[in-house]
Amino acid sequence: MKILICIKQVPEITDVTINPETGTLMREGVASILNPFCEYAMEAALGLKRQRRDIELVAISMGPPQAGSALMRCLEMGADRATLLSDARFAGSDTWATALTLAEAIKRIEGDFDLIIVGKQAIDGDTAQVGPELAEILGLPGIMYAVSVELALDKKRARVKREVENGYEIVEMRLPGLVSISKGPMIRSVSSFQEILDARKKELRVLSASDLELDQDKLGLHGSPTQVVEIFPPRVKARGELIDGSDAETATEKTISFLREKRFI
């Protein structure tokens, strides 16, 4: 059985700031990490692999050459091999072009998969679109916002618990299919020295658009139906009153009169 994990490398966004003069993103010196939701997707896949020894876990990403380090992290966590789709012609892809590139690559090199697991969204774009788009392009059923995934004994079906607005749903689908993962352990596990050594022995191949014989018109910025026309810093709300709460009683009084003034009580 083969499970594909599609992952993304993202900047540690809490560090991203805007250059006030040019209005552009200052990304220098910002650390790159494996997107946390992709890490949860890896955890979910590893959970399945621990139950079934015959599962092959393949991590795939599209990104610049340095995104290889996010795939290396997947190999350290326990993926069996990894493929990076990297080409200057992929740059500027929106979610549709990204999903299309991943889908075409998967069809060409890993077409015999049983299940695709992705993180529900990446913390830089936060669109949550690539998962459903990938499922649609590959003609797969999909279950989004999963918190747990189980495989039927015959491995022909998956049973997924997923978040919905007022609770959870348990949904089944026939495989092959796609699942997006919403939740996982908050603490990032650190790879052991042995895991790092083992990961270096695993295959991490890099493929270009030409290697995959992709239709150039549908790649990158040129192939993206959406175009960014302007980037600007968000409006900042004027700061309100700040009071010292070391004297709890006075602070409480002030809060009560504020609530009264605003007619909440």
Contacts (CB under 8 A) with other proteins, residues 80-139: 94-96, 99, 120-121, 123-139
Q: How far is the CB of 124 from other proteins (least distance, A)?
A: 6
- Of 36-65, binders to other proteins (CB under 8 A) are 37
Q: How far is the CB of 164 from other proteins (least distance, A)?
A: 6
Q: Is 152 in the site for other proteins (CB under 8 A)?
A: no
Rounded-to-integer distance, Cα 222 and Cα 96, Å:
12
Which residues are CB-contacts of 91 (< 8 A; sequence separation ≥ 6)?
Answer: 64, 220, 221
Which residues are CB-contacts of 232 (< 8 A; sequence separation ≥ 6)?
Answer: 23
Q: Is 22 in the site for other proteins (CB under 8 A)?
A: no
- Per CB under 8 A, the list member of 20, 29, 53, 237 interacting with other proteins is 237
Which residues are CB-contacts of 237 (< 8 A; sequence separation ≥ 6)?
Answer: none
- Of 246-265, binders to other proteins (CB under 8 A) are 246, 248-249, 251-252, 254-256, 258-259, 262, 264-265
CA 216, 221, 226, 228: dihedral to nearest 10 degrees? -170
Q: How far is the CB of 199 from other proteins (least distance, A)?
A: 26
Handedness of CA 88, 11, 6, 177 (dihedral sign): negative
Q: Output 72 or 85, the one with its CB closest to other proteins.
A: 85
- Beta strand 177-181 pairing with 115-119: parallel
Q: Is 244 in the site for other proteins (CB under 8 A)?
A: yes
Rounded-to-integer distance, Cα 147 and Cα 139, Å:
23
Q: How far is the CB of 145 from other proteins (least distance, A)?
A: 6
Q: Output 155 or 202, the one with its CB closest to other proteins.
A: 155
Q: Is 155 in the site for other proteins (CB under 8 A)?
A: no
- Of 165-224, binders to other proteins (CB under 8 A) are 165-174, 177, 182-183, 185-186, 224
3-class SS of residue 113: coil
Q: How far is the CB of 138 from other proteins (least distance, A)?
A: 7
Helices (H), 56-178: 68-77, 95-109, 130-137
Q: Is 153 in the site for other proteins (CB under 8 A)?
A: no
Rounded-to-integer distance, Cα 244 and Cα 240, Å:
13
Q: Is 231 in the site for other proteins (CB under 8 A)?
A: yes
Q: Output 166 or 194, the one with its CB closest to other proteins.
A: 166
- Per CB under 8 A, the list member of 70, 77, 105, 144 interacting with other proteins is 144
Q: Is 150 in the site for other proteins (CB under 8 A)?
A: no
Q: Output 154 or 241, the one with its CB closest to other proteins.
A: 241
Rounded-to-integer distance, Cα 22 and Cα 176, Å:
47
CA 142 to chain centre: 16
